[in-house]
Chain A
Amino acid sequence: MNVIQCHDVTKSYGQNRALDHLSFEIGENKITGLIGRNGAGKTTLLKMIAGYIKPTQGELQVFTRKPFNNLDVSAKTIFIDDNMTFPDSFRLTDILSEVAPFYAAWNSSLADALFNYFSFDPNQAHSNMSKGSKSTFNSIIGIATRCPLTIFDEPTTGMDSAVRKDFYKALLKDYLEHPRTILLSSHLLSELEEILEDILLIDNGSKCLHLPIMELRELAVGIRGNEQALLTFVEGKELIYKEEFAKGSLYVVIKKESIEQEFKHVRQNGLEVLPISPDDLCVYLTGKTGGGIDDVFKRS
């Protein structure tokens, strides 16, 4: 069953298209990472799925219903980001007890255990917390609600590295016991890729890739070596990325399938094959220009 069905969805803000004819489906109980550069449309998409905003065009269904203003979808969905606001007079414990009645699967013992583990002060006000503490507290709500559709928009903003690891671990552990559909957005793919099953990469409001993360890892390789030899080797093939890293030496990123035939000969030509991290690959795939920041500093 597909929890999310997005068909040809466009969202415009005036002249600006935040989402541009986007289509994809997300199956039940998968953990999907929504990856994209700044301004790619990640937050717009997530807010639309959570029912906060309406698509301008196209058909979006969550649990087979249009999510906007839909109570049924709202009850099954939680959207966590760092803009969550709670009444100023509420202490942290008040928030936890007030969230409970809204979500059928809320688990207060899990919430309390995480709350104590991260050493929160029950009497503190939400508005006085640091950025990282706020993100951590909001994440506890995200995990403990156990919503059939759990959405985190940049959940680790401001968290220190130890807390980040704990958060992803806690999320995965609870998911293993209580499977649910989880959507996580981030521009730091490297920190969450291990817990993902699928990845949805968007660029300028359009879908760039949607595939199992294991396939993404196998998608491309980097090849480095003498410029002439390398150019001959990749002649006529589509390059994902190309960079001159020393005089006469070149580094290219290329789809594995396009060089499958010749792959054996790479090393005989004195070329080096390098693994490419999914994180780097996503950056190259959504690059605005063929080169990189180095080109900005290059003297003509």
Chain B
Amino acid sequence: MILNTDSMKPIYVQIAEWLEVEILNSNMKEDERIYSQYQLADMFTVNPATAAKGLNLLADENIVYKKRGLGMFVSPNAKQFILTKRRKQILEQMIKELVIEANRLDVSESELIMMIHNFKQDYKEE
């Protein structure tokens, strides 16, 4: 597995996001056991402490739950939760970038909205 070492995102976040995609793609289903920190460490060639932090990130958001002595399992509502979260976080971040860049280029708010609108039209026609 290749990690993007230049990314601003820490490796453990990248591991958590990769697991989220696995859940979104239904490669891991509800109440199924998720990879252990040691399996992830081996797959990504990272220290198991790093992998554990990635897993804990998911546990903190209740995307996975712990069973004592058995490991971590995918929560029943994980998929829906990830979808909602990603829409909110990724879109919001992109919009933030967009607005900053538009300001730098002296593009007014109405122009920007127009551009989005036009692109949506074009995209539909394709």
Residues of A in contact with B (beta carbons under 8 Å apart) = 31, 168-169, 172-173, 176, 190, 194-197, 212-214, 217-218, 267, 275
Contacts and interface: CB of A to CB of B under 8 A. Distances in A.
Given A176-B42, A267-B100, A194 B10 contact: no
A114 to B, nearest CB: 17
A194 B8 contact: no
Contacts of A196: 47
B21 interface: no
Interface residues of B, number: 19
Interface stretch (B48-56, B68-76, B79-87, B106-114): B48-56
Interface string B33-53: 000001001101111111001
Contacts of B12: 214
A8 to B, nearest CB: 28
A195 B100 contact: no
A31 B50 CA distance: 12
A268 to B, nearest CB: 9
A195 B45 contact: yes
Contacts of B100: 267
Nearest to A31: B47
Contacts of B8: 275
Contacts of A176: 38, 41-42, 48
A214 B50 contact: yes
Given A194-B3, A267-B100, A168 B45 contact: yes
B63 interface: no
B58 interface: no
Nearest to A172: B45
Given A172-B45, A194-B45, 18 more contacts: A31-B47, A168-B45, A169-B45, A172-B42, A172-B47, A173-B42, A176-B38, A176-B48, A194-B11, A196-B47, A197-B49, A197-B50, A213-B47, A214-B12, A214-B49, A214-B50, A217-B10, A267-B100
